[in-house]
């Protein structure tokens, strides 16, 4: 899992911000590919908060994928509802 630690209040604020976002990425039947993870990294570099939509997965698969995405993507899963999940990584300081 990621080393990003968020308080409950921070997660609540981020979920509220995420309601206004359109899904930036869609995860389909190909699963977690290096290309998908690269796109996730680019999206997180551009925006700290990214909404993701799962296509063709059941509830248990989505829960496992959220943990795997957070670990491999070096980000935190802020929350998921249905087939949509939010991932957050603070922007890097220059």
Of residues 79, 51, 73, the one with CA closest to residue 3: 73
pTM of the model: 0.90
Fold of 8-88: Translation Initiation Factor IF3 (3.30.110)
Residue-range domain boundaries for the chain: 8-88
pLDDT in tens, 16-37: 999 999 999 999 888 899 999 9
Of residues 17, 77, 16, the one with CA closest to residue 52: 77
- Collapsing DSSP to helix, strand or coil, 37 comes out as helix
Check pLDDT > 50 for residue 46.
yes
Of residues 88, 79, 94, 83, the one with CA closest to residue 3: 88
Environment class of residue 44 by beta-carbon count within 10 Å: exposed (0-12), middle (13-18) or buried (19+)?
buried
């Amino acid at each position: 899992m990621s080393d990003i630690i968020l308080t409950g209040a921070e997660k609540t604020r981020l979920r509220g911000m995420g309601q206004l976002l359109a899904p930036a990425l869609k995860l389909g039947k190909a699963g977690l590919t290096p290309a998908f993870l690269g796109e996730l990294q680019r999206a997180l570099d551009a925006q700290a908060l990214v909404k993701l939509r799962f296509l063709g997965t059941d509830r248990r698969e989505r829960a496992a994928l959220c943990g795997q995405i957070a670990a491999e993507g070096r980000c935190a899963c802020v929350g998921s509802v249905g087939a949509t999940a939010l991932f957050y990584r603070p922007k890097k300081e220059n």
